[in-house]
Amino acid sequence: MSYLVNACYEQEHIHGCRSAEFSKIAVACAEACSTSLFLHLEGTYLARADSLACALARGCRIFVAPSFPAELLARQDITLICVKDPIAELYRLANLFRLNSPAKIIAVTGSSGKTTCKDMIAFLLRQRYTNTLKTYRNYNGLLGVPLTVRKLCADDAFAVVEIGMGEPGTLAKAAELVRPDVGVITNIGVSHIGKYGTQKNIAREKGTLLPTIASSGIAILNGDDRECRELGGRHPGKTIYYGHGADNELVADNFAQAMTGLTFSVRYGGQKTHFSLPCHGHFQVHNALAALAVGLYFGFTLAEMSPRLSQFTPATQRLRPMHLGNIVLLDDGYNSNPLSLAAALQALTALPIAPRQKVAVIGDMQELGGLTLHYYEELLLLLLSLDVKQVFLIGPLVQKLARQLPNATTAATPKEIVALLQAHVVEGSVILLKGQDDILFASIRDEIISWSHKAER
């Protein structure tokens, strides 16, 4: 679909050609082309000093920015539109694309599991509908949501949009832009509790998604999560609860954890189907149930989704299993909060291998405000209760636990972590990487991969 500049902007704001058309919104040089409007997001991480010149060189002829250099203002063959607030303009343009999109929109939020759940939903939908847009990686914040929505095309059947939680009110703002047909809340944990103070406040913020769902649409909630279940009444239309408990409509049972992944059964409305998922950790079953609920709502059957789900692979740093010679690496180093860290550790301990083959590399958790000490004390008790051979701690907060953990060793760098692993890891070991600092943990992962390759020579 094409848009006329003079239909989108007041005439007095347009400098140069007024009859220009665009069908895309570009915010980075690599996206710019002859059919795009280039929005210079000044003041954000996407802005570069040469962005406008680069976009011009790539064929773009429509530019929106707070100001323009003299060399562009002197040209009459291009279109320049001056705006005071480029982020507000991004929302306005994204809203234009949303209003004209025929796609069914699925919004996903929650304290943990958002990205994996979003990826599973898109993966299932793409089995039948290849034109399914999804949030890139976990770009789910103030900028990320409109950056996803502005990619909507006229032939998109679905869009799966991940919505995160920043400052109070930002989730509602993003949800109002998305205006989903389906809203999914994976769980309500304590991520961001340092900012929100209580879990109830977090639930209240997450719940602002529900009133934005179309009245003819559906809310899909984790029925095993008490806070989620209490939010159910905020959507006036249909709500489906999923989980392990019998009081849910979509229920999973008969779990088994193997080294190759999970197996479980799912029951819904008289259907019962066996599933295998090449993931680790029982919490992944909740992610799968949410994705299956979306598929069921749009006419898929459990039977047809089962073989598709067995081919799903988690994204990098999302508890993704990596087989490296005679060890397995569980790469979960993107983020860490009390809920996700406990789930990752339980995924490690549930594996059918000896305790001496289970190793955890743990970093600091997300900022927890006044409850920091409480949640690290809980982590200490959890680590003391687990059958894990060795725990390596990296990070100023988590390292304080080492004095009370007989199987813990501290390290300051990725190379030190690998040296410790070389000294302690036995054949057949599984190493969990879990921390808040994704750059640090990506470095640890890469060092381990390099070590494993050298060991194979």
Q: CA 204 from chain center: how many Å?
A: 20
Structure-block tokens of residue 102: 């025929």
For residue 94, being part of any structural domain is answered with no
- What is the secondary structure of 59-108 as a DSSP string? T--EEEES---HHHHT-SSSEEEE-S-HHHHHHHHHHHHHHT---EEEEE
pLDDT tens profile 156-210: 999 999 999 989 999 999 999 999 999 999 999 999 898 999 999 999 999 999 9
pLDDT at 32 over 90: yes
pLDDT band at 84 (very low <50, low <70, confident <90, very high): very high
pLDDT tens profile 275-327: 999 999 999 999 999 999 999 999 999 999 999 999 999 999 999 999 999 99
pLDDT at 454: 74
**Domain co-membership, 76 together with 218:** no
pLDDT band at 13 (very low <50, low <70, confident <90, very high): confident
- The pTM of the full predicted model, rounded to 2 decimals, is 0.95
> What rounded mean pLDDT belongs to the chain?
95
**Domain co-membership, 79 together with 216:** no
Does residue 161 contact residue 180 with C-beta atoms inside 8 Å? yes
Q: How far apart are CA 377 and CA 25, in angstroms?
A: 48
440 Rama sector, left if φ>0, alpha if ψ -120 to 50, beta otherwise: alpha
**Domain co-membership, 344 together with 281:** no
For residue 177, being part of any structural domain is answered with yes
**Domain co-membership, 281 together with 349:** no
pLDDT band at 397 (very low <50, low <70, confident <90, very high): very high
**Domain co-membership, 350 together with 281:** no
pLDDT at 349 over 80: yes
Please give the average per-residue pLDDT across 14-38, as a whole number: 94
**Domain co-membership, 195 together with 106:** yes
Could you identify the residue written with the tokens 């050609």? 17
Query: Where residue 14 sits, what CATH number does that domain have?
Result: 3.40.1390.10
pLDDT at 143 over 70: yes
**Domain co-membership, 305 together with 328:** no
Q: How far apart are CA 124 and CA 311, in angstroms?
A: 10
For residue 152, being part of any structural domain is answered with yes
- What is the secondary structure of 11-41 as a DSSP string? GGGEEE-SS-EESEEE-SGGG--TTEEEE--
Beta-sheet pairing, 104-109 with 182-185:
parallel
- Which residues in 144-173 are b (16+ Cβ under 10 Å) and which e? bbbbbbbbbeeebbbbbbbbbbeeeebbbb
For residue 92, being part of any structural domain is answered with no
pLDDT at 111: 95
**Domain co-membership, 173 together with 246:** yes
Structure-block tokens of residue 231: 């939010």
For residue 238, being part of any structural domain is answered with yes
Q: How far apart are CA 227 and CA 374, in angstroms?
A: 21
For residue 334, being part of any structural domain is answered with yes
For residue 277, being part of any structural domain is answered with yes
Structure-block tokens of residue 33: 């082309």
From 84, 109, 135, the end of a domain falls on 84
pLDDT at 457 over 60: no
**Domain co-membership, 254 together with 336:** no
**Domain co-membership, 220 together with 299:** yes
From 54, 84, 114, the end of a domain falls on 84
Domain holding 25, by residue range, is 3-84
In 3D, which of 421, 281, 259 has the Cα closest to residue 345?
Answer: 281
Query: Where residue 125 sits, what CATH number does that domain have?
Result: 3.40.1190.10
From 84, 110, 136, the end of a domain falls on 84
pLDDT band at 1 (very low <50, low <70, confident <90, very high): confident
> What is the domain count for the chain?
3
**Domain co-membership, 284 together with 399:** no
**Domain co-membership, 219 together with 281:** yes
